[in-house]
Amino acid sequence: MSSTTRVPQEERTRAMRLRLMEATVELLVEKGFSGTTTTLVSERAGVSRGAQLHHFPTKNDLVVAAVAHLTEIRGSDLEAAVSRLPDGAGRTEAVVQMLGDHFASPVFTAALELWVAARTDAALLEAVAPLEQRVGRETHRLTVELLGADESRPGVRELMQATLDLVRGLGLANTLGDDARRRRKILKEWSRSLDAALKEKS
Amino acid sequence: MSSTTRVPQEERTRAMRLRLMEATVELLVEKGFSGTTTTLVSERAGVSRGAQLHHFPTKNDLVVAAVAHLTEIRGSDLEAAVSRLPDGAGRTEAVVQMLGDHFASPVFTAALELWVAARTDAALLEAVAPLEQRVGRETHRLTVELLGADESRPGVRELMQATLDLVRGLGLANTLGDDARRRRKILKEWSRSLDAALKEKS
DNA sequence: AAACAAACAGTCAAGCCTGTCTGTAAATGG
DNA sequence: CCATTTACAGACAGGCTTGACTGTTTGTTT
């Protein structure tokens, strides 16, 4: 039946699904959402069209699964970066720069493609919105924690949001040829203002 | 020949091109870039496909023209908003909020669709990039002017860029269901920090 | 070992999009 | 008023994408 345990098949299934999702993410970054055709995905993944359709009946299924996969990558990426964060004086800037780097990664680019596509695709939006909301909240929580900010003080929450919206904006600019140096300098200056504002409010 | 003066034809041409470009912008907002098909544009504009192809041989021609048209709208939009700006105490916040509103308008949404599409479309990028660069510089210049900031002081330039990248980020969030209240509060708080930082540096 | 289910392979048709092409109407210039 | 150019109309073909469909292999269960 289907309720009993199975092993090797599940393994194969997982591997195949993973390959398909990774190929999807790659293509999202390289060719954009509409350029990510199911045919290209199966070719890139080295999977027959039949197998692909077996695991992901429609393109939306595939893309949504890829998004979910993406959010996992995002999570572990961030965790890894967090562990390398220094304490003390330069803490704020280190945190902000880390966020900046994160939102300048291919992961963000792929997610951006999805957001923009989802804006005008109801079915996709339905799948992406809750996911992205969760990730957004989690990122916010993490930022507050890393900065040791006290959101019960008025204005602090808005500064956290501003920081995240800023890195989002920088991430967007980054997809269109902006360089890392510019980002660094902007975030450095931002960190100073943020530090000053937080200190004043504490 | 063609160097002599003509009137009614030129007028008709201008009107037809305008209708096509406006329909294109509308569809960009409603259906996204790939959803903006040439067929839909001609239908929306009430123009035959033949006429459309006569004025804009390819989809890229059409879209690029629409972008150019868009930047003009952006320009006059901003000018109009600037004239309504107050002086004195709340100046900084008024300027920042104005920028925030501007980057939350449909105009930004349409431009976003183009940026994202251009990222993976070399031909489009070639046409869009210089245009957007110009507009970006102009917006930067305007912001500096409106805020009366002195960019010769270290860090001030970065604060200006940060402000613009922040509103870009907020604009992006806005396309995915973010509300205006959140934006207002965030920008209000940032205005304070910005004011403090600018004062400190003067 | 046999029956059954899942995984995989590849072809096919339907639909859509883009740009070309041929043809018609209107307007300008001599 | 006629010739030429520009504006406009609509059919058409080529290419591509998606998802359905049929058939084959591999694994699982009894």
CATH number at residue A178: 1.10.357
Q: Which amino acid is residue A120, in one-letter code? A: T
Is residue A173 within 8 Å of B170, Cβ to Cβ? Answer: no
Rounded CA-CA distance A181/A185 in Å is: 6
Is residue A124 within 8 Å of residue A64, measured between CB atoms? yes
Q: Say whether the CB atom of A9 is under 7 angstroms from strand C.
A: yes
Which one of B163, B181, B186, B188 would you mutate to disrupt binding with A, by most A Cβ within 10 Å of its Cβ? B186
Task: Say if A19 falls within a structural domain.
Answer: no
DSSP for A152-189 reads TSTTHHHHHHHHHHHHHHHHHHHHTT--HHHHHHHHHH
For B32: left if phi > 0, alpha if psi spans -120 to 50, otherwise beta; the answer is left
Decide if A192 and B155 are in contact by the 8 Å CB cutoff.
Answer: yes
What is d(CA A173, CA A166) in angstroms, rounded to the nearest whole number? Answer: 11
CB contact under 8 A, A197 and B196: yes
Q: What is the mean pLDDT of residues A105-109?
A: 93
CATH number of the domain within which B77 lies:
1.10.357.10
- Classify residue A52: in a domain, yes or no: no
Structure confidence at residue A83 (pLDDT) = 92
- Structure-token pair, residue B154: 């270290």
ipTM of the complex: 0.89
In a domain, A53, yes or no: no
A142 within a domain of the structure (yes/no):
yes
Q: CA-nearest residue of chain B to A172?
A: B169
d(CA B80, CA B78): 5
Contact B36, B116 (CB under 8 A): no
- Contacting residues for A130 by C-beta, under 8 A, at least 6 apart: none
Q: Give the CA count within 13 Å in the CB-facing half-sphere of A62.
A: 29
Q: From residue A191, give the alpha-carbon distance in Å to each of A81, A100, A103, B195.
A: 18, 11, 16, 15
202 residues of chain B, pLDDT tens digit each: 333 344 566 777 888 999 999 999 999 999 999 999 999 999 999 999 999 999 999 999 999 899 889 888 888 989 899 999 998 889 999 999 999 999 999 999 999 999 999 999 999 998 889 988 999 999 999 999 999 999 999 999 999 999 999 999 999 999 988 899 999 999 999 999 999 999 988 7
B3 domain residue, yes or no = no
pLDDT digits (tens, 9 = 90+) for A167-202: 999 999 999 888 999 999 999 999 999 999 999 887
In the prediction, which pLDDT does B8 show?
67
What is the spatial distance between Cα B92 and Cα B191, in angstroms, rounded to a whole number?
6
Residue with tokens 């990028």: B125
* Residue at B86: amino acid letter: P
Give the H or E element holding residue A109: helix A106-119
Task: Tell me which chain B residue has its CA closest to the CA of residue A160.
Answer: B186
* Interface contact B193-A197, CB threshold 8 A: yes
- Residue in B132, B173, B192 nearest the CB of A165: B173
Nearest CA in chain B to A115: B176
Length of chain B measured in residues: 202
pLDDT at B202: 75
pLDDT tens across A59-74, in order?
A: 999 998 998 898 888 8
Mapping DSSP to helix (H, G, I), strand (E, B) and coil, where does residue A29 land?
A: helix
**Which residues span the domain enclosing A138?**
59-201
Res. A8 pLDDT band, cuts 50 70 90: low
User: Is strand C in 7 Å reach of the CB of B38?
Assistant: yes
Start-to-end CA distance of chain B, whole Å, equals 62
Sign of the Cα torsion B39, B42, B43, B48 reads negative
Position A5 pLDDT exceeds 50? no
Contact assessment for residue A141 and residue A134, using Cβ atoms and an 8 Å cutoff: no
**A8-16 LR contacts (CB < 8 Å, sep 24+):** A13/A55, A16/A47, A16/A51, A16/A55
Which residues make Cβ contacts (< 8 Å) with residue B142, sequence separation at least 6? B78, B82
Tell me whether residue A12 is in a domain.
Answer: no
Please determine, for residue A10, whether its predicted confidence score (pLDDT) is greater than 80. Answer: no
Domain count, chain A: 1
> Is there a contact between A112 and B117 if contact means CB atoms under 8 Å apart?
no
B155: left (phi over 0), alpha (psi -120 to 50) or beta: left
Query: Measured between CB atoms, which of B34, B115, B159 is closest to A189?
Result: B159
